[in-house]
Structure 1
Amino acid sequence: MSADLSKDYSPSRDEFAAMLADSLAKDDLFEGSVVKGKVVGIEKDLAVIDVGLKMEGRVPVKEFGIGGQPGNIKVGDVVEVYLERIENALGEAVLSRDKARREESWTRLEKLSEKGEKVTGVIFNKVKGGFTVDLDGAVAFLPGSQVDIRPVRDIGPLMHQPQQFQILKMDRRRGNIVVSRRSVLEETRAEQRADIVARLAEGQIIDGLVKNITDYGAFIDLGGIDGLLHVTDMAWRRVNHPSEILNVGDTVKVQIIRINPETQRISLGMKQLQS
């Protein structure tokens, strides 16, 4: 009668240590998580990534490119990839660099959104009602009304150019991000206006450009901010309409009569410079 040797078998210390290490390593690999792996080979347009436990997966090299640029990786590089499945029918791990970038971007963008900070992105496609923006891996929607302060006829010059956006809304569960370029421009313009107003003073004489003419006066561009030259302050004589004295595009010398620091409205006069 032969004895069942398997019952009496006990692993050596080294074998037990290896089995324990394997068990602990498996706990670190979760499907649906971002893991670190090492590039162990490049096969044509595929990078072979070892994520541990003698498991390898293949990821298109192009997924390691940023902003449409080709991927630049080499054997030995340590990269982060998204583990979709630990093993497929071929016995390989199913990995994705795109999804890893997306996860990284969402985490980073959520922190920036909480602080109200601006984010950098690239407009790369036109869709119904607006455009899509690549925020370094996460795709956001830019409504047409949020592209610029004024309607934009040709979006071409803005495409594929890194620029700043403000996050209006984020919903990770639905995968939705809405951004605005307009709010960034409005904030910049407000800062510029405040800076210009701070350099102006009541009584100051300044050159300006006639920007627009209305029945009650003319708007004068003072180098980034407009001032109103009322028809009653154009001349000591009666002026029926501003067009009697001014034309759009004229350069005129005016005096700053009043500055409202709260509304940043500037009142101008021409007759005050006349005898």
Structure 2
Amino acid sequence: MKKTSRKQSAGTKKREELLKLYESSLKIVSEGEITKGRIVKITPSDVIVDVGLKSEGIVSRSEFKGPISEGDEIEVLIEDIENDEGVAVLSKEKADFAKAWEKVKHAHETNEVVKGKLLRKVKGGAIVDLFGVNAFLPTSQIDLYLVKEPDRVLKDEIRLRIISLSERNKNIIVSRRAVIEEERQRKREKVLQELERGEIKEGVVKNITDFGAFIEIDGVDGLLHITDMSWGRVSHPSQVLSIGDAVKVMILDVDRENERLSLGLKQMTPNPWGDIEQRYPVGSKTRGKVVNIMDYGAFIEIEQGVDGLVHISEMSWTQRIKHPSQIMSIGDEVEAVVLNIDKENERLSLGLKQAEIDPWINLEERFPVGSVHTGRARSLVSYGAFIELEKGITGLVHISDMLWVKRITHPSQLLKRGEKVDVVILNIDKKNRRISLGLKQSLEDPWKSLKDKYKEGKIVATHISRILDRGIEVTVEDGIEAFIPLSRLKVKTSEDLGKKYKVGDELKLKVVDIIKEHRRLILTEKSKTVNG
């Protein structure tokens, strides 16, 4: 009996030792931890994994995306060390997510650039795979400019920066734009340090405004101002460039502090004003195209980059031009003479009329004073009539030089516009380019023979033409007009004039005298002569 009892005691002791040895071989893990395990069995619905616990654990077969085999070592997260069925509940997906989340956190904390892959487009952006975790890439963060088709840009691996992370909701927001901007900034700084004034660089036109064009050179935007596009006249930058054009420009200035470039296009070619005086000496003739018309003159382009102004006063020797559009239009080709060069201010004065012979030079030979010529009435004004003697040569017949005897108040009483008349050259003022003409001088002066016809004491028939405050005006048969003062009329006061005399009435008057030098006929109504 004693012998049997000793055997039992020895067996119990051995079992306890074996149990201790088994228990010491088991892992000490907690729920929520990630541990390594080995696949021991694969079924259609589950994968049995030995993670060193008392019992083997189960992982859903759906958590495995790729091929697996028995004996493979994997990492899993322990969700429950032992469930009601005495089995450990494990998750490979949660283990993978936890590991990936740690990588995401580290990348966010260290501001590290990470690589991702496009999974699918969603409203407002795209979902990308980041270490096996889904992250949201907003449309505004895909590129520097709005991208309508993300999948055309997001190919292969995408370099991203994590810009927002939520531990609570496990949300991740990433940006590709931030990476591009950083790379662009580094490149911009490098380019700005290397660029020098006077360098020739090729760039691409990114934008066009009224004042110039923005050109990107190696990631740096530079302004090509409209004044630096051409030596010639440019109304708008779109006349020279289009968006997307590749163009070579000169670096005019580098502002490294404000990261700005000033660019030049015209500086790529020689300044046409450099030797302007040699190519277009003062007095030389040249041809050009009308490029702009103003009230005061017209701008003529004689070559690209060189415009000259023809002032309105330099357009014609003879015509009185009110606006340049009377004789030219934009696009017309004209011949002009160089009058003056202001090289410093890049201004050129041209003359149109100087390209022709000045008709006033030998005018006195063709129209000597006293000669008679036939002209055409071009315009009638209150003080006279302008008569065109030949194309561009016009003279004035003053109203006082129209008739010898009859007084008129307006030239239209005698002439019609366009009517041909004979005139006499009375005077030529070459300095002020004026010609005085006479109409009555082409006719015989009737006053030369009137002395014999109207002798003193002769009674003549007249007709009253006007009644004035101080007397009356009458007309005799030859059209001669005479003024009869109140003292030579048979009335006592001016109030009596309107009572006794009527315009158109015939009135018999006596000749007192005729003063030929002053072209004056003196008449009286009284029988007794009163001097004055």
TM-score for the superposition, normalised by structure 2: 0.45
Please say if 1:25 is aligned against 2:20: no
The separation in 1 between residues aligned to 2:241 and 2:160, in whole angstroms, is 40
Measured after TM superposition, the shift of residue 200 of structure 1 is: 2.3
Question: Residues 222-233 of structure 1: matches in 2 within 5 Å?
Answer: 222-233=217-228
Letter of the 2:19 partner, please give it: A
Q: Distance in 2 between matches of 1:23 and 1:253?
A: 79
* Equivalent in the alignment of 2:129: 134
C-alpha displacement of 1:23? 6.5
Distance 2:197 2:35 in 1: 63
1:262 and 1:64 mapped to 2: Cα distance? Answer: 55
Which has the higher mean CA deviation after the structures are superposed, 101-110 or 233-242? Answer: 233-242
Number of positions where the alignment pairs a residue of Structure 1 with one of Structure 2: 263
The amino acid across from 1:40 in the alignment is V
Pick which of 38-47 and 147-156 moved more: 38-47
Distance 1:162 1:241 in 2: 43
Question: 2:120, 2:127 within 8 Å by CA — same for their partners in 1?
Answer: yes
C-alpha distance in structure 2 between counterparts of 1:24 and 1:111, whole Å: 34
Alpha-carbon contact 1:259-1:266 (below 8 Å) kept: yes
Alignment match, 1:214: 209
SS of match in other structure, 1:186 = helix
Q: 1:138–1:247: structure 2 CA closer, same or farther, 3 Å change rule?
A: closer
1:169 aligns with 2:170: no
Rounded Cα–Cα distance in structure 2 between residues aligned with 1:20 and 1:108: 38
Superposed counterparts of 1:120-131, under 5 Å: 120-131=115-126
Quote the Cα distance in structure 2 between the aligned partners of 1:123 and 1:76. 33
Partner of 1:53: 53
Are the counterparts in 2 of residues 123 and 134 from structure 1 also a CA contact under 8 Å?
Answer: yes
Identify the residue that residue 68 of structure 1 maps to in structure 2: none
Q: CA RMSD in A?
A: 2.9
Give the CA deviation at 1:58.
3.2
The CA deviation at 1:128 is 4.7
After superposition, the C-alpha distances for 1:199-232 in whole angstroms (9 at most, x for unaligned) are 4221112333434321101122334433211112
Deviations 1:45-78 (A, max 9, x none): 643211123422333455344xxxxx23322222
* Structure ranking higher on relative contact order (CA contacts 8 Å, 6+ apart): 1
Is the 8 Å Cα contact of residues 124 and 159 (structure 1) preserved in structure 2? no
- Determine which structure has more spread, i.e. the larger CA radius of gyration: 2
**CA distance in structure 2 between the partners assigned to 1:74 and 1:83 by the alignment:** 21
Matches within 5 A, 1:17-166: 18-19=19-20, 21-22=22-23, 25=26, 28-44=28-44, 46-61=46-61, 63-65=63-65, 71-157=66-152, 161-166=156-161
Query: What is the CA-CA distance between 1:20 and the residue it aligns to?
Result: 6.0
Note closer, same or farther for the CA distance 1:14–1:202 as it changes in structure 2 (3 Å cut): farther
CA contact (8 A) 2:33 2:77 kept: yes
Contact 1:124 1:160 in 2 (8 A): no
Q: In structure 1, what is the Cα distance between the partners aligned to 2:258 and 2:247?
A: 24
**Contact persistence 1:171–1:177 (CA under 8 A):** yes
Q: Which amino acid aligns with 1:177?
A: I
Cα deviation, 1:57-109, whole Å, max 9, x if unaligned, reads 333455344xxxxx233222221101111233443221111100111112222
Alignment of 1:176-191 (within 5 A): 176-191=171-186
Question: Equivalent residue for 2:374?
Answer: none
Residue 259 of structure 1 and its aligned partner are, at CA, apart by: 1.0
**3-state SS of 1:107 partner:** helix
Secondary structure of 1:240's aligned partner: coil
Per-residue displacement from partner, 1:164-223 (whole Å, max 9, x unpaired)? 221122232332222222211211222233333344221112333434321101122334
Note closer, same or farther for the CA distance 1:263–1:73 as it changes in structure 2 (3 Å cut).
farther
Contact 2:125 2:136 in 1 (8 A): yes
8 Å contact from structure 1 (residues 216, 230) kept in 2: yes
Query: Residues 252 and 264 of structure 2 are in contact (CA less than 8 Å); yes or no, is this contact kept in structure 1?
Result: yes
Paired letter, 1:256: I
- CA shift digits 1:100-136 (9 cap, x unpaired): 0111112222222221112222232444544333322
Whether the 8 Å contact between 2:103 and 2:131 is mirrored in structure 1 is no
Unaligned runs of 5+ in 2: 272-532
TM-score, normalisation: structure 1: 0.81
CA distance in structure 2 between the partners assigned to 1:139 and 1:252 by the alignment:
43
Residue 238 of structure 1: CA displacement? Answer: 4.2
Contact 1:142-1:178 at 8 Å conserved across structures: yes
Displacement after TM superposition at 1:17 (Å)? 5.2
Per-residue Cα deviation, 1:119-169 (whole angstroms, up to 9, x for no partner): 222232444544333322333333332222222211234568432221122
Distance 2:246 2:113 in 1: 38
Give the stretch that moved more between structures: 243-252 or 101-110: 243-252
Give 3-state SS (helix, strand or coil) of 2:56's partner: strand
Q: 1:238 to 1:199 in 2, by over 3 A?
A: same
Q: Distance in 1 between matches of 2:154 and 2:61?
A: 24
SS in 1 for 2:96: helix
> Is the CA contact 1:122–1:135 (under 8 Å) kept in the aligned structure 2?
yes
- In 1, distance between residues paired with 2:127 and 2:244? 39
Deviation at 1:268, TM superposition (A): 0.7
In structure 2, the CA distance between the partners of 1:160 and 1:42, relative to structure 1 (3 Å rule), is farther
Q: Could you tell me how far 1:24 is from its partner in structure 2?
A: 7.4
Q: Distance in 2 between matches of 1:95 and 1:53?
A: 12
Q: Is the alpha carbon distance of 1:188 and 1:237 closer, same or farther for their aligned partners in structure 2, counting shifts above 3 Å?
A: same
Deviation per residue, 1:19-56 (Å, 9 max, x gap): 36526736x22122212111112224643211123422
For 1:194 and 1:76, locate their aligned partners in 2 and report how far apart those are by CA, in whole Å: 55
Q: 1:9 to 1:108 in 2, by over 3 A?
A: farther
Q: What percentage of residue pairs aligned between the two structures are identical?
A: 44
